[in-house]
């Protein structure tokens, strides 16, 4: 009975999140990018001057809302707790390379679903790679992979990332000269809904994700490991809801929100192999982290400082990707990006091996 209630809850949450994602696009976000944790962290990194790609610089209120929505609900439900100490440097490195994979594909797992819901068939290659990455991660999990336990920390530790989000919100509203914003018409960074709308959307989705434990990686992982469909149901509900909204909006407005095919998709490229390999790195890395980038933001809001470190790793990866030409564009992947993804897969595999087989030798 309890399980049925949980499943109904996550399906309803997924349906609401799909609608919110579609509406954000209508109100100004780039196509198929109502939400994208990777893209939005990258935009925020650019706004703070951590990279200088002028077309992707904006402090995304959705990210602020996601963390604060989770923080507020966790506090109200007495689930907030400062904890950490589970291999933070390893988590930083995993977060870094997960971002490299995301920026090869041009989206996080959340956006992968939204791209599919917009008819972007390039995301099918991403999904195949993502599932393969998760299967590789599950291989290590079932053989004892662990980053060891977390410990309780002083309350301030867990509150720092939520406070940083408030500071970012102040900087967004005050818009001082040292914050970089993409100029109108200058690229995806200039395409956004109004601040209040994006913030409220983030707050709602953050709270829903905290309540339902929604996780894009966990959905597939739990089906493979335990034949448990709850998290995947949320995933499917987001896809179904966003798809229906896109079809309705395409029919009811002069704009196109659903275009079936591979060529000419928004903020996407058509290189299937590298779309798949990028998301393989993401799936593999996220299983080792215990959750997708969305889940990391939500856990950080609940006071998990290991997830906060992971988020900082994601931001560092985004800055590095744009400073060193690793991120793909609509033109396709770059040579540097391909090398970085291969290095990323190797590094993540080494981390997996060391934390699975290494401990058997007492390391």
Q: Given candidates 69, 109, 126, 218, which one binds another protein under the rule CB under 8 A?
A: 218
User: Which token pair is 277?
Assistant: 């390999």
HSE-up of residue 148 (Cα within 13 Å, Cβ side): 13
What residues numbered 143-182 form the site for another protein, per CB under 8 A?
146-152
State the chain's maximal CA–CA distance in angstroms. Answer: 64
Only segment of 125-133, 171-179, 220-228, 257-265 that touches another protein (CB under 8 A) = 220-228
User: Is there binding between residue 70 and another protein (CB under 8 A)?
Assistant: no
Q: Are 341 and 277 in contact (CB under 8 A)?
A: yes
Residue whose pair of structure tokens reads 């709602």 in the numeric block: 204
User: Is there binding between residue 6 and another protein (CB under 8 A)?
Assistant: yes
Nearer to another protein, 188 or 218 (CB): 218
Only segment of 22-30, 158-166, 185-193, 224-232 that touches another protein (CB under 8 A) = 224-232
**Smallest distance, Å, CB 166 to another protein?**
25
Q: Given candidates 42, 60, 83, 338, which one binds another protein under the rule CB under 8 A?
A: 83
304, β-bridge pairs: 83
Only segment of 141-149, 160-168, 246-254, 315-323 that touches another protein (CB under 8 A) = 141-149
User: Which token pair is 344?
Assistant: 């990323």
User: Which token pair is 302?
Assistant: 């609940």
What is the b/e burial string over 35-70, where b = at least 16 CB atoms within 10 angstroms of the residue's CB? bbbbbbbbbbbbbbebbebebbbbbbbbbbbbbbbb
Assign residue 272 a region: left if phi > 0, alpha if psi is -120 to 50, beta otherwise? alpha
Interacting residues of 234 by C-beta distance below 8 A, sequence separation 6+: 10, 11, 13, 14, 212, 214, 219
User: Is there binding between residue 221 and another protein (CB under 8 A)?
Assistant: yes
Nearer to another protein, 146 or 336 (CB): 146
User: Is there binding between residue 69 and another protein (CB under 8 A)?
Assistant: no
User: Is there binding between residue 141 and another protein (CB under 8 A)?
Assistant: yes
Nearer to another protein, 198 or 307 (CB): 307
**Smallest distance, Å, CB 235 to another protein?**
16
Kindly determine how many residues on this chain lie close enough to bind another protein according to the rule CB under 8 A: 30
The DSSP line for 196-239 is HHHHHHHHHHHHHHHHHT--HHHHHHHHHHH---HHHHHHHHHH
User: Which token pair is 263?
Assistant: 């060529």
User: Is there binding between residue 211 and another protein (CB under 8 A)?
Assistant: no
Q: Among residues 281, 279, 282, 314, which one has the least CA distance to residue 300?
A: 314
**Smallest distance, Å, CB 150 to another protein?**
4
HSE-up of residue 60 (Cα within 13 Å, Cβ side): 31
Nearer to another protein, 24 or 215 (CB): 215
**Smallest distance, Å, CB 38 to another protein?**
21
Nearer to another protein, 46 or 206 (CB): 206
Nearer to another protein, 5 or 361 (CB): 5
**Smallest distance, Å, CB 69 to another protein?**
17
Q: Are 63 and 200 in contact (CB under 8 A)?
A: no
**Smallest distance, Å, CB 213 to another protein?**
5
Nearer to another protein, 289 or 312 (CB): 289
Q: Given candidates 121, 128, 213, 223, which one binds another protein under the rule CB under 8 A?
A: 213
**Which spans of this chain sit near another protein (rule: CB under 8 A)?**
2-3, 6, 79, 81, 83, 86, 141-142, 146-152, 213, 215, 218, 221-222, 225-228, 230, 289-291, 306
């Amino acid at each position: 009975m309890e399980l049925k209630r949980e499943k109904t809850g996550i399906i309803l949450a997924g349906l609401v999140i799909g609608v919110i994602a579609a509406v954000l696009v209508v109100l100004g976000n780039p196509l198929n990018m109502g939400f994208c944790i990777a893209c939005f962290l990258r935009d925020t990194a650019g706004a703070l001057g951590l990279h200088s790609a002028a077309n992707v610089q904006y402090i995304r209120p959705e990210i602020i809302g996601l963390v604060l929505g989770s923080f507020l609900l966790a506090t109200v439900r007495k689930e907030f707790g400062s904890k950490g100490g589970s291999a933070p440097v390893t988590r930083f490195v995993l977060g870094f390379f997960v971002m490299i994979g995301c920026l090869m594909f041009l989206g996080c797992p959340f956006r992968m679903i939204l791209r599919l819901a917009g008819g972007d068939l390039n995301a099918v290659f991403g999904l195949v790679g993502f599932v393969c990455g998760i299967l590789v991660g599950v291989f290590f999990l079932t053989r004892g992979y662990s980053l060891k336990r977390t410990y309780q920390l002083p309350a301030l530790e867990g509150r720092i990332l939520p406070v940083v989000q408030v500071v970012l919100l102040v900087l967004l509203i005050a818009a001082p000269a040292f914050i970089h914003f993409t100029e109108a018409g200058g690229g995806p960074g200039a395409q956004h809904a109004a601040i209040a709308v994006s913030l409220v959307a983030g707050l709602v989705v953050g709270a829903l994700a905290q309540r339902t434990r929604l996780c894009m990686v966990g959905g597939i992982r739990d089906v493979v490991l335990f034949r448990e469909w709850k998290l995947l149901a949320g995933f499917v509900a987001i896809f179904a809801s966003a798809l229906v909204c896109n079809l309705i909006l395409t029919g009811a407005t002069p704009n196109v929100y659903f275009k079936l095919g591979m060529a000419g998709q928004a903020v996407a490229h058509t290189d299937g192999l590298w779309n798949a390999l990028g998301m393989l790195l993401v799936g593999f890395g996220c299983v080792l982290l215990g959750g997708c980038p969305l889940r990391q933001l939500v856990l950080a809001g609940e006071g998990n400082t290991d997830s906060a470190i992971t988020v900082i790793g994601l931001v560092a990866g985004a800055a590095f990707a744009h400073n060193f030409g690793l991120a793909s564009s609509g033109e396709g992947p770059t040579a540097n990006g391909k090398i970085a993804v291969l290095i990323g897969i190797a590094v993540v595999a080494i981390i997996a091996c060391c934390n699975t087989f290494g401990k058997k030798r007492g390391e």
